[in-house]
Amino acid sequence: MTIDVHQHLWTPAFTEALRRRTAPPRLDGWTLHLDGEPPFPADPLDHDPAARLALDRELDLALVSLSSPLGIESLPPEDAWPLIDAYHEDAAALPAPFGAWAAACLTDVDPVRLRAALDLGLAGLQLPATAVGTEEGLLAVAPLLDVLAERDLPLFVHPGPAGSPVASGPQAPDAQVPGAQAPGWWPAVVPYVQQMHAAWFAFAAFGRPRHPRLRVCFALLAGLAPLHSERLISRGGPGRGRVDPGMFVETSSYGPRAVDAIVRELGVDVVVNGSDRPYATAPDLAPVLGEAARHAVTVTNPGRLLNRDRHRPRPPAEPEGARRR
């Protein structure tokens, strides 16, 4: 019954749509070109559905999502929607144990299109952290969050483009990564973490009052933002011990020590399993936290996040030529 809420899989229609582009984000063969990051040579095997099925054979559900660092959601509508539509079409056709998060265009906020995507059986909506890291950003996407609330489905917050600022306004930095000369680990360790940190506190301060029942999951342990509670309190923030049961964090690219620290701060009930496959693997928590905590993180908590009674993986596709009797 193990659930992984965070994977990426570039399927055929989506990759072909990226190859047709002449400006970032684009694919040249299997080399990915993004603004603010060095060219990334992707491994085709990482995005082969059959190979991924073999890796995920022990999972009950593996949720894939659009790669938000590509910046697709922030493209002009005429560029963004063809890529998002290709992603949705491919994602909805994936066999069990796959499920998927919906995506949305941030330059054309469209609740009607989100409802149509969710009607395909998608698990909820993913938005880049750069879209929800400020009060203004949360107000802009509020119509999408209202759709999730009416469907009782969650929001997944994922790092956005590495070159995107985490703040808005005239004093905002132009970028969070020093061009193509940055080491390969830089985006994952610096801008992605900063974005998630901002998104966690922005939702707590501005999003939660407007969306009181929305369940939200923050990738990569929200950039360890919950561990800053002492500093928050010292600067006049709400008191320690006030855990929001609807604000979840997932574990990708962290290990047992970081997860243990988060559990000590938030408790185990809001921690969910995520791998960020094919770029990382999920941590083995049992040796440090024990079997009960492992079960909570990989089964119970993600089931609660996703409202599992309403979201189940699709059954395996019927063999070609088979007929129901």
**pLDDT, tens only, 262-316:** 999 999 999 999 999 999 999 899 998 999 999 999 999 999 999 986 544 444 3
What's the CA gap between 78 and 145, in Å, rounded? 23
Closest CA to 158 of 72, 92, 257, 95: 72
List Cβ neighbours of 264 (8 Å cut-off, separation of 6 or more): none
- Per-residue pLDDT, 15: 97
What's the CA gap between 109 and 123, in Å, rounded? 19
List Cβ neighbours of 23 (8 Å cut-off, separation of 6 or more): none
Topology given in CATH for the domain delimited by 3-306: TIM Barrel (3.20.20)
Give me the residue label for tokens 């909820």.
124
Answer for the pair 82, 17: CB distance below 8 angstroms, yes or no.
yes
Confidence of residue 186 (pLDDT cuts 50, 70, 90): confident
Confidence of residue 172 (pLDDT cuts 50, 70, 90): very low
8-state DSSP, 317: P
Residue 274 structure tokens: 């995520």
User: What is each CA distance from 43 to 11, 29, 48, 183, 279, in whole angstroms?
Assistant: 13, 10, 9, 19, 10
- Per-residue pLDDT, 168: 40
What's the CA gap between 193 and 210, in Å, rounded? 25
Q: Where are the domains of the chain?
A: 3-306
- Per-residue pLDDT, 62: 98
Sign of CA dihedral 229, 65, 126, 166: positive
Q: Is 257 exposed, middle or buried (0-12, 13-18, 19+ CB in 10 A)?
A: exposed
Q: Percent of the chain having pLDDT more than 70?
A: 88
pLDDT at residue 139 above 80?
A: yes
- Per-residue pLDDT, 240: 63
Predicted TM-score (pTM) of this structure? 0.90
86-129 pLDDT tens trace: 999 999 999 999 999 999 999 999 999 999 999 999 999 999 99
Closest CA to 95 of 126, 64, 118, 125: 64
What's the CA gap between 192 and 44, in Å, rounded? 24
What's the CA gap between 95 and 59, in Å, rounded? 13
For 185-211, b/e burial (b = at least 16 CB within 10 A) is ebbbebbbbbbbbbbbbbbbebbbeeb
